[in-house]
Structure 1
């Protein structure tokens, strides 16, 4: 499940809406909603997110959070480390090798470390869907 899929499922549950009901109302298939919720589809389009926001009548902070979660919900991420340090490539490959075995506490510690680093604040995602590693050699 992706962060967006988890939020979508929570919104439906809070409002007592089935996948079938929501799918019909916003013009997608129930299978598509299910695939989004389970992380079997890539990040949803801006248009789709706007339909969800309108369907649930979400405003302000909650709408921004849903859009942010959608951007963090790509189940297949590519990280390009060409041009970065060998250490950046090493760390990314180690993380890729163990990500499926990390417990929630460890993932939260990694997230806290990333979020606390000024180089990462506001980094977000690159428009082509790739993340940039920020491990640059000291000058």
Structure 2
């Protein structure tokens, strides 16, 4: 599941909207919306993100957060470490190899540590 997919599903369920109703209202198929929620589809196109924002009538911070989550929701990532320190290449390779073995809590901890280290909180 991607960050955007998880948020989309939570918003939809919290408002009691069915997948098929939302898909029809947004002009996409139920299969596509389901795949997006489950992380089987990559980053949603900008017009769909805007459609979701309008659909749920979210504003300001929540709209920005949805856009940010969409940007970070590509399930197949390529990391180019050319020209970086050897530790960066090792980190990228270890993450690629071992990410499936991390618990959700460990992954969340690594995300927070990286955000603090890079000032992107």
Bin of the TM-score, shorter chain as denominator length: over 0.9
Number of the residue aligned with 2:24: 24
The separation in 2 between residues aligned to 1:45 and 1:121, in whole angstroms, is 27
Residue aligning to 2:108? 108
Bigger Rg over Cα: 1
The farther-off stretch of 84-93 and 40-49 is: 84-93
* Structure 2 counterpart SS, 1:81: coil
Q: CA deviation at 1:112?
A: 2.1
Q: Deviation at 1:104?
A: 2.1
Task: Give 1:14 shift.
Answer: 1.1
> Unaligned regions of 5+ residues in structure 1, if any?
124-139
Cα RMSD (Å):
1.4
Structure 1 segments of 4 or more deviating over 6 A? none
Paired with 1:23 and 1:112, the residues of 2 have a C-alpha distance of: 33
- CA distance in structure 2 between the aligned counterparts of 1:24 and 1:11, rounded to whole angstroms: 16
**Structure 1, residues 38-91: CA drift from partner, whole Å, max 9, x if none?**
000110011110011111111111111111111111110110001112221111
Return the offset for 1:115.
Answer: 1.3
| Residue number in structure 2 paired with 1:46 | 46
Secondary structure at the aligned position of 1:79 is classed as coil
Larger helix fraction of residues: 2
Shift of 1:122: 3.9
Tell me the TM-score normalized by structure 1: 0.82
Alignment of 1:55-74 (within 5 A): 55-74=55-74
